[in-house]
Structure 1
Amino acid sequence: MYQRRLKIFVGLCVGVLLIALARLVMLQGFGVNEARRQTELLRVLPPESLATVRGKIFDRNGRTLALDRPAFSLYIRYALTRYANPRWQEGQILRRMTQDTSRQEAESVLQAEWAERLLTLREATALAAELGGVPQAEIEARIEGINNRIWELARYIWWRRRNPGAAMAEYRRQRDAISPAQIVQVDLREMAEFYPLIELPDEESLFSAQLELIHFEGLTLRPEARRVYPYGTAACQLLGWVAPGQDEEMQVFEDDEYRRYLEGEVLGKDGIEKAYEPVLRGRRGRVVYDKDGNELSRTDPEYGGDVYLALDIELQQRIESLLQNPETNPNASSPCAAVVLDGATNDILALVSTPGFDLNTVRRDYTRLINDPNKPMLHRALESNYPPGSTAKPLILLMGLEEGAVGPDEIISCPYTNPPAGWPRCLLQRQGSCHDWRWEHEGGNNARNAIRGSCNIYFSRLAHRLDSRTLQSRLFDLGFGRSILHLDLPYTFVQNHPRFADVQPRIRQAHGSLIAGIQAAPADSPDDLPALVDWERKFWGIGQGNLRATVLQVANALAVIARSGIYKSPRLVLDEADVFNERYQRRVSISPRTLETVRDGMAAVVNEQGGSAYRIFRDSELFRRGLAIFGKTGSTERPEHAWFECFAEDQAGRLIIVAVLVEGGSRGSDDAAPLGHGILTLCNEAGYIGTRPTHAPPL
Structure 2
Amino acid sequence: MRNDIPANLRRVALILTGLLAILFLYISFIQIFEGNQLTAHPLNRRATEAARRVPRGEILDRHGDKLAYSERDSEGTYHREYPYGAIFAHLVGYDNPKYGKAGLEGTFNGELSGLTHPERHLGAIVRLWGPIPGNHLVLTVDRALQQAAYQALGGHRGAVVVIDPRTGAILAMVSKPAFNPNTLDRDWEKITSSADSPLLNRATQGLYPPGSTVKIMIAEAALREKITDINKVFKCDGKLKIGPDYVLNEASLRAHGRVNLEEALAVSCNVTFGSLALELGRTRMANLFERYGFTRSIGEEWQESPVRLPVFSRLGDGDLAQTGIGQGSLLVTPLRMALIAAAFANNGKIMKPYVVEKIVAADGTVINEFKPSEWLTPVEPNLAKVVGQMMVTVVAEGTGSAARIGGIKVAGKTGTAENPHGAPHAWFIGYAPADNPEIAVAVLVENGGAGGEVAAPIARQIIAHQLY
Distance 2:332 2:461 in 1: 23
The alignment partner of 2:259 has SS state of coil
The alignment partner of 1:66 has SS state of strand
Superposed, which structure 2 residues align to 1:190-209 within 5 Å?
A: none
Deviation at 1:545, TM superposition (A): 0.5
Choose between structure 1 and 2: higher strand proportion.
2
Counterpart position of 1:11: none
What's the Cα RMSD here?
2.5
Counterpart position of 1:108: none
- Structure 1 residue 555 and structure 2 residue 354: aligned? no
CA-to-aligned-CA distance 1:359-396 (integer Å, 9 cap, x gap): 10112211110111111111111101100000000011
- Any conservation in 1 of the 2:293–2:376 contact (CA below 8 Å)? no
- Structure 1 residue 572 and structure 2 residue 316: aligned? no
Counterpart position of 1:94: none
Distance 1:563 1:378 in 2: 30
Superposed, which structure 2 residues align to 1:491-506 within 5 Å?
A: 506=301
The alignment partner of 1:462 has SS state of helix
Which structure carries more relative contact order (alpha carbon 8 Å, separation 6+)?
2
Distance 2:415 2:228 in 1: 22
Aligned residue pair count:
399
Scaled by the length of structure 2, the TM-score of the pair is 0.79
Counterpart position of 1:229: 82
Deviation at 1:604, TM superposition (A): 1.0
Scaled by the length of structure 1, the TM-score of the pair is 0.54
Superposed, which structure 2 residues align to 1:448-467 within 5 Å?
A: 448-467=262-281
Superposed, which structure 2 residues align to 1:154-553 within 5 Å?
A: 222-244=75-97, 269-283=101-115, 298-324=128-154, 332=155, 334-415=156-237, 419-420=241-242, 421-427=245-251, 430-431=253-254, 434-436=255-257, 444-484=258-298, 486=299, 506-516=301-311, 531-535=313-317, 536-553=319-336
CA-to-aligned-CA distance 1:630-655 (integer Å, 9 cap, x gap): 1111101124211111111277x342
Cα distance change, pair 279–417 in 1 and its aligned pair in 2 (3 A):
closer
User: What amino acid is aligned across from residue 316 of structure 2 in structure 1?
Assistant: D
- Any conservation in 2 of the 1:311–1:349 contact (CA below 8 Å)? yes
Gaps of 5+ in 1: 1-48, 73-221, 247-267, 289-296, 325-331, 437-443, 488-505, 517-529, 685-691, 693-699
User: What amino acid is aligned across from residue 256 of structure 2 in structure 1?
Assistant: H
CA-to-aligned-CA distance 1:185-224 (integer Å, 9 cap, x gap): xxxxxxxxxxxxxxxxxxxxxxxxxxxxxxxxxxxxx221
Counterpart position of 2:13: none
Cα distance change, pair 300–559 in 1 and its aligned pair in 2 (3 A):
same
- Any conservation in 1 of the 2:61–2:142 contact (CA below 8 Å)? yes
- Any conservation in 2 of the 1:388–1:634 contact (CA below 8 Å)? yes
Cα distance change, pair 596–55 in 1 and its aligned pair in 2 (3 A):
closer
Counterpart position of 2:7: none
Superposed, which structure 2 residues align to 1:49-88 within 5 Å?
A: 51-72=53-74
Counterpart position of 1:661: 444
Deviation at 1:548, TM superposition (A): 1.1
User: What amino acid is aligned across from residue 403 of structure 1 in structure 2?
Assistant: E
What is the identity percentage for the equivalent residue pairs of Structure 1 and Structure 2?
31
CA-to-aligned-CA distance 1:534-555 (integer Å, 9 cap, x gap): 3322111100001111011011
Runs of 4+ with >6 A deviation: 284-288
Of 375, 378, 393, the residue aligned with 1:604 is: 393
Deviation at 1:589, TM superposition (A): 4.3
- Any conservation in 2 of the 1:469–1:532 contact (CA below 8 Å)? no
- Any conservation in 1 of the 2:415–2:451 contact (CA below 8 Å)? yes
The alignment partner of 1:632 has SS state of strand
Distance 2:277 2:437 in 1: 33
Distance 2:223 2:302 in 1: 36
Q: Which has the larger radius of gyration?
A: 1
CA-to-aligned-CA distance 1:26-65 (integer Å, 9 cap, x gap): xxxxxxxxxxxxxxxxxxxxxxx99422111111111111
Distance 1:589 1:318 in 2: 31
Distance 2:308 2:427 in 1: 18
- Any conservation in 2 of the 1:353–1:380 contact (CA below 8 Å)? yes
CA-to-aligned-CA distance 1:479-527 (integer Å, 9 cap, x gap): 324332x36xxxxxxxxxxxxxxxxxx34321211224xxxxxxxxxxx
Deviation at 1:613, TM superposition (A): 2.1
